[in-house]
Amino acid sequence: MLREKLKEYNVILASKSPRRQQFFQDLDIDFTVQLKEVEEIYPPELKGIEITDFLADLKSQAFTNLSEKDLLITSDTIVWLDEIALGKPKNAEDAFNMLRSLSGKNHKVITSISIKSKNYQKIINDITTVTFKELSDNEINYYIKNYKPFDKAGAYGIQEWIGFIAIDKLEGSYFNVVGLPVHKLYKELMNL
């Protein structure tokens, strides 16, 4: 359905995330991946959704010469815990500290998506609340050693081992936690 709906567009996914690319394939969208380096810095006064909205828009601004046919999709995900944004860990120690901070608590996974063409832009977002069980240091170290979650916000992938053993409760979209609220993206693209 989306392939037919979007046949007039050159859909560009500006994400190196293999999970987001797989979602686009699974949605049956014809797309190309184009990447531009963006320094993901946001004003410190921003909170929660304001951060991901800002960063999704910032990533879209790197594409300055969109044609009439281009449809650019950029996205950003953070883990929001105790009024602090957890992005991607810098190293194993950072990943350990993030997972230790998530242990036994609720956190929010927030994703924003920018849908942009030459004369149009809309930013949509989604929030999922995730509850982690108490994690042992051995479980955290095992996960980091075997799954190397350095490309994931909050240092974890719900679709991996840690998701199987650590998540007590999920309120909202599972796919949002993986990295893209595909149900909301589908709706927006069908309404273009």
Which residues are known catalytic residues? 76
The CA distances from residue 171 to 66, 81, 126, 130, 151, in Å, are 37, 15, 11, 6, 23
- Rounded Cα–Cα distance for residues 182 and 24 (Å): 9
Residue at 158: amino acid letter: I
Distance between CA atoms of 53 and 10, rounded to whole angstroms?
A: 23
Maximum distance among all Cα pairs of the chain, rounded to whole angstroms: 53
